[in-house]
Structure 1
Amino acid sequence: MKHNDITQSDFLKKTIYTILSLKIQSFYMFLSRVNAQRSREAAGAEILTIPSFPKEIDDHAPSFFHEADEYYRTARGKHENAPN
């Protein structure tokens, strides 16, 4: 193995470690926000809901979205824990 190969390998490792550390940091920031929201809700604040499905489906959306919209927005497909 040439010296230049080792340097490139080290650079690649450092790049990967940097990216991973940023991802981990972002994940911990996300968890701290979720924890703060759960604490607010436990103290009586309004429960935050984030819709997993848009209110209106674009005509150009894939057929899966149209089929899911037709099913999950009916009485048969609705569930109290999934307020879409």
Structure 2
Amino acid sequence: MASMGLLDTAAEFCGTYLSELRRGTTRQQVIPYLLQIPDDRYPLDEWNDALAYLLGAAEPCSSVAAAKDLLAASLRQPPHH
């Protein structure tokens, strides 16, 4: 059995469905969880997929660290609806 992807793991951690991860309160819970995941646990393309899904980020990041920086910065901004 294949291991779960980054967003699926995050949804499981939050005890919710993938579609709920974008919602404000869940987003405030899932992003800190994502930030503590070791950089090498998931490939960069999964981090970029998470950015696109959670934040609507159009430009992919060139590193996991850069992706995490964007996620961390999003916590200081109001959620987009």
In the superposition, the TM-score normalised over structure 1's length comes to 0.23
Instruction: Specify which structure has the bigger relative contact order, considering alpha-carbon pairs within 8 angstroms and separated by 6 or more residues.
Output: 2
